[in-house]
């Protein structure tokens, strides 16, 4: 069973956020960090820190969660991140 991820990147603590979904979290975050998504939102706003992610075995659930989080108020997203990552540390080094 292949895992799928819904993730949040941030430019800094409580900064600009990006929410995405992928089946390869390490590769996708690497692409964001190295601005390999040319002319993309994360590149334009220097959004490179992985601050939150969830895993599910179902792509439909991952996409549904992505849409749900995108519709949340900013304060709710901040609270979700700070529940598991109060310092807004970049989680990327812990997953590679």
Look up the pTM and report it: 0.95
The pLDDT value recorded for residue 40 is 87
Give the SS3 label for residue 22: strand
The pLDDT value recorded for residue 94 is 94
Overall domain count for the chain: 1
Q: Model confidence over 35-74: pLDDT tens digits?
A: 987 778 999 999 999 999 999 999 999 999 999 999 999 9
Range of the domain at 80: 4-95
DSSP 37: S
Dist. CA 44–CA 68, nearest whole Å: 24
Q: Which domain CATH number covers 25?
A: 3.40.1440.10
Asked if 81 contacts 44 with a C-beta cutoff of 8 angstroms, the reply is: no
Dist. CA 90–CA 2, nearest whole Å: 24
């Amino acid at each position: 069973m292949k895992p799928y991820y819904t993730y949040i990147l941030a430019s800094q603590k409580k900064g600009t956020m990006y929410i995405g979904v992928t089946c390869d979290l390490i590769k996708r975050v690497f692409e964001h960090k190295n601005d390999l998504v040319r002319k993309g939102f994360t590149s334009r706003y220097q959004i490179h820190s992985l601050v939150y992610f969830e895993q599910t075995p179902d792509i439909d659930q991952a996409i549904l969660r992505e849409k749900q989080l995108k519709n949340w108020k900013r304060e709710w997203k901040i609270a979700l991140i700070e529940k598991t990552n109060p310092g807004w540390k970049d989680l990327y080094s812990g997953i590679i």
